[in-house]
Structure 1
Amino acid sequence: MFSTSSFTLFFVALFATFSLVASAPTPLERDVFSPPVLYPRNGTVWRVGERHNVTWDISNAPKQITNSIGMIVLVKNGLMIDLDHPLAQKFPILTPHHEIVVPDVEPGNDYQILVFGDSGNTGEMFTITE
């Protein structure tokens, strides 16, 4: 059978294990941030080769963002264009604007800007001309 010292040792070990688990640091809670695109908006016309500041709203940004590094992608007819070569990348998402150069793409009025942090938010349709 168990002796008193074995019984005591078992409960001390059990208590120590629970103490370690209870004192383990809790992971920092982080939130997903999908900043609304403010510019370009419906009615905006960009010409190929021009420089423009894409802007987004950071007024409701959470304190702990899952991914604070941004990326800007051009979208045409609901499909991302050349995700391997975004218009901009590796900028702080809490800076509410970033300058891009309008790429040499087919003219159209069905373009949108997608701003990624840890989740993307697509802006309004706008036009790109030659």
Structure 2
Amino acid sequence: MTNKEERNILETITFYSGILILIILLSYLGFRIFQNDSNPPELLVSLTKDPNSAGNKYKVEIENMGQKTAEAAKISFELYYKGKVAGKAELEIDFVPQRSKEIGFIVFPGQQFPGDSVVINSISYIQP
């Protein structure tokens, strides 16, 4: 006579559920490792005027939609007033990780009058 230990139904369900979750997790991680991550950083910049400040202060949101991190992102801005360049500013952010958003602020010093528009002059970054 053999002494066979029977599992209860809850133990069996828990065991097989754990195995299934482990297989799914390992499959997903394996897929991510071998996935082609050659897409470069894709930086999207949006500007909004800061309503709580006098002068020309703008909130800048930089979103990286790409698959790689952008390092030393430098963005140049020009403030226009009546069709002429009234001021220049530059924003530099050390890291913009993949699929993330960074926030910064720019101020055009000495400009007491509101500008007509702000133009993004250039965007540069280093791809590690």
Indicate the TM-score class for this superposition, using the shorter chain for normalisation: 0.3 to 0.5
Q: Which has the higher strand share?
A: 2
TM-score with structure 2 setting the length: 0.40
TM-score, normalization by structure 1: 0.40
Q: Which has the higher contact order (CA 8 A, sep 6+)?
A: 1
